[in-house]
Structure 1
Amino acid sequence: MISESLIGNDPFSEPTLMTDDPRLLRITSAQPYPLLFATISGAHLYGFPSPDSDFDLRGAHILPLERVLGLEVKDETVEDSRIIEGLEMDIVSHDVKKFFSLLLKKNGYVLEQLYSPLIVHTTPEHQELKDIAKGCITRHHSHHYLGFVHTQWELFLKEQPPRVKPLLYVYRVLLTGSWMMRTGEVEANLVTLNESFRLSYLPDLIARKLNGPEQATLTDTDLAFYRSEFERLRAELEAAHQASSLREAPEESARQSLNDLLIRVRKTQGILS
């Protein structure tokens, strides 16, 4: 595997070269196991990072054979949250077998991580995995987004006064889910999504979030409006699920291709870099 630092715009296209903070590259290269890929998720991916937003580094790593052949498999998930080189980092990666297994379930998180255009580390196998994963997107991924948005909405309501940031997460989830049901594509950037959905209030909410905490709370009048929008968009997501022409289950060819890729990666792990 050859590591590159890349970024792209279309989640299903070839990425293009990026120049980014070299600390991210050093942090990524210091991870305990070889990486199939590493991308940035969270507010940076969603299109509304604040100057103090942490970096959510997500990826898939490759455990050595001796770690996966025994009775107990350790480090299937590696997590690390701390300040590194002055950057607030939240790092989560899954071993490739676990990551591939999650792709075969209605898990929107791993799809968003895989197709994130904010790529810090990539390999030829990363692009191969993105090609395979197109066959794993199903209409039942809507259940992930409907369940996730319920949790996000409850978190938003618990805060007093209610804040803009969790509200943006609510709308991001709803629009990502609806877009996937309509197009079969993975798009997590709220700014990009709104080019199609054209919600007139989103640019102001995003600007308030970016401008700092003093503008990032909402009034009771705001809350009534945004509740009605939440209910409307949730109903649209449910309708998009019902109308979706996406497959009911991952393609069998995608399952077989994931199995073949996993075996190949395991066999060559000793020479990967």
Structure 2
Amino acid sequence: MKNIIKQKLLDIQTSYNIKILYACESGSRAWGFASKDSDYDVRFIYVKPLEYYLSLGKKCDVLECELNDTFDINGWDLSKFLYLLAHSNMSAYEWLQSDIIYQKTQIWEEIQDEFLQFFNVSTAIYSYLGIAKTQMSRHIQNKELIKYKKYLYVIRPLIACEYILKYQKPALMNFNNLLESVEISSEVGREIKNLLKFKLESSEKDFKQKSDVLNTFCIEKIDKFNNFLARKKIQKQPYIAKIDDLFLRVLKDERLLV
């Protein structure tokens, strides 16, 4: 499958006249808890020829290339990626943490360590907590039967908050590695491992009985990080000059002529 995806990316480069700087797997496969029928969530960062950015016309900064039962392939222009990175967008940072990489250019390897300068602990926790709270209220609270993957969509961002608070850096993408890096009770750990086993062996659409242990865990963590953020003032950092510098360095690199 990896070779098929790599070929699709080469075809996308030709069809859209772009250069893909970096491409990776996102979603459940990168998180390490794909179901039997999970699709492939392929994400990439690209640039267009320099002349494209010199036009005064409105620019499209997203390419949605394929969406079906097997593949979900889309990408962001480097300008969008850098802007979101500077605002601690968690999707951007997660792509950087993926263990499944389909394509990476030399210029990307040279600049990727510079991305961490934009990371903000409070903003990152705020982002993950918002995901957890939304999923909790929509899919878990006041329900007896729960689509099991929704539990993971609440638990994973809460564990990510714990990791960020402890290590002061972006959370690991692989959920098992993330889980082993933070402290949780043995009872909660067993429930999460049972949940993962159920998900790996089941369909994306399967439901399971609610878990009082996991519900309590989620509520307590949400309260914890609500209280943490209440004591913090999230400040926006003036990163625009640094973003521009990175962006121009890439665009001017002769190795990326398309």
Which of the five TM-score ranges fits, normalised by the shorter chain? 0.7 to 0.9
Q: Give the secondary-structure state (helix, strand or coil) at the position aligned to 1:201.
A: helix
Distance 1:46 1:214, change over 3 A: closer
Distance 1:240 1:133, change over 3 A: farther
After superposition, the C-alpha distances for 1:96-134 in whole angstroms (9 at most, x for unaligned) are 111111111031111111222211100122223321111
Q: Is 1:226 aligned with 2:189?
A: no
Contact 1:115 1:130 in 2 (8 A): no
Match of 1:21 in 2: 2
Match of 2:37 in 1: 52
Contact 1:106 1:143 in 2 (8 A): no
Q: Give the secondary-structure state (helix, strand or coil) at the position aligned to 2:253.
A: helix
Distance 1:187 1:178, change over 3 A: same
Distance 1:190 1:115, change over 3 A: closer
Contact 1:146 1:174 in 2 (8 A): yes
**Which sits farther off after the overlay, 170-179 or 38-47?**
170-179
Contact 2:5 2:102 in 1 (8 A): yes
Distance 1:251 1:45, change over 3 A: farther
Distance 1:66 1:231, change over 3 A: same
Alpha-carbon deviation of 1:204? 0.7
Q: Is 1:172 aligned with 2:153?
A: no
**Residue 84 of structure 2: which of 87, 102, 119 is its match?**
102
Match of 2:46 in 1: 61
CA distance, structure 1, for counterparts of residue 71 and residue 120 of structure 2: 32
Q: Give the secondary-structure state (helix, strand or coil) at the position aligned to 1:200.
A: helix
Alpha-carbon deviation of 1:269? 6.5
CA distance, structure 1, for counterparts of residue 138 and residue 173 of structure 2: 20
After superposition, the C-alpha distances for 1:239-260 in whole angstroms (9 at most, x for unaligned) are 665799xx955585xx544322
Contact 2:139 2:150 in 1 (8 A): yes
CA distance, structure 2, for counterparts of residue 240 and residue 81 of structure 1: 40
Alpha-carbon deviation of 1:27? 1.3
Match of 2:175 in 1: 190
Distance 1:155 1:91, change over 3 A: farther
Distance 1:46 1:117, change over 3 A: same
Alpha-carbon deviation of 1:267? 2.3
Alpha-carbon deviation of 1:209? 0.3
Q: Give the secondary-structure state (helix, strand or coil) at the position aligned to 2:70.
A: strand
After superposition, the C-alpha distances for 1:57-109 in whole angstroms (9 at most, x for unaligned) are 112110223322223233311113334xxx71112211111111111103111
Give the alignment's Cα RMSD to 1 decimal.
Answer: 2.8
Q: Unpaired segments of 5 or more residues in structure 1?
A: 1-19
Alpha-carbon deviation of 1:207? 0.4
**Residue 139 of structure 2: which of 133, 136, 156 is its match?**
156
Match of 2:130 in 1: 147
Q: Give the secondary-structure state (helix, strand or coil) at the position aligned to 2:55.
A: coil
CA distance, structure 1, for counterparts of residue 202 and residue 38 of structure 2: 11
Quote the sequence identity (%). Answer: 24
CA distance, structure 2, for counterparts of residue 215 and residue 70 of structure 1: 46
CA distance, structure 1, for counterparts of residue 204 and residue 99 of structure 2: 31
Contact 1:79 1:91 in 2 (8 A): yes
Alpha-carbon deviation of 1:181? 2.5
**Residue 210 of structure 1: which of 193, 200, 208 is its match?**
200
Match of 1:128 in 2: 110
Structure 2 length-normalised TM:
0.83
CA distance, structure 1, for counterparts of residue 179 and residue 30 of structure 2: 14
CA distance, structure 1, for counterparts of residue 205 and residue 58 of structure 2: 47
Structure 1 length-normalised TM:
0.79
Q: Is 1:30 aligned with 2:14?
A: no
CA distance, structure 1, for counterparts of residue 225 and residue 179 of structure 2: 15
Match of 1:3 in 2: none
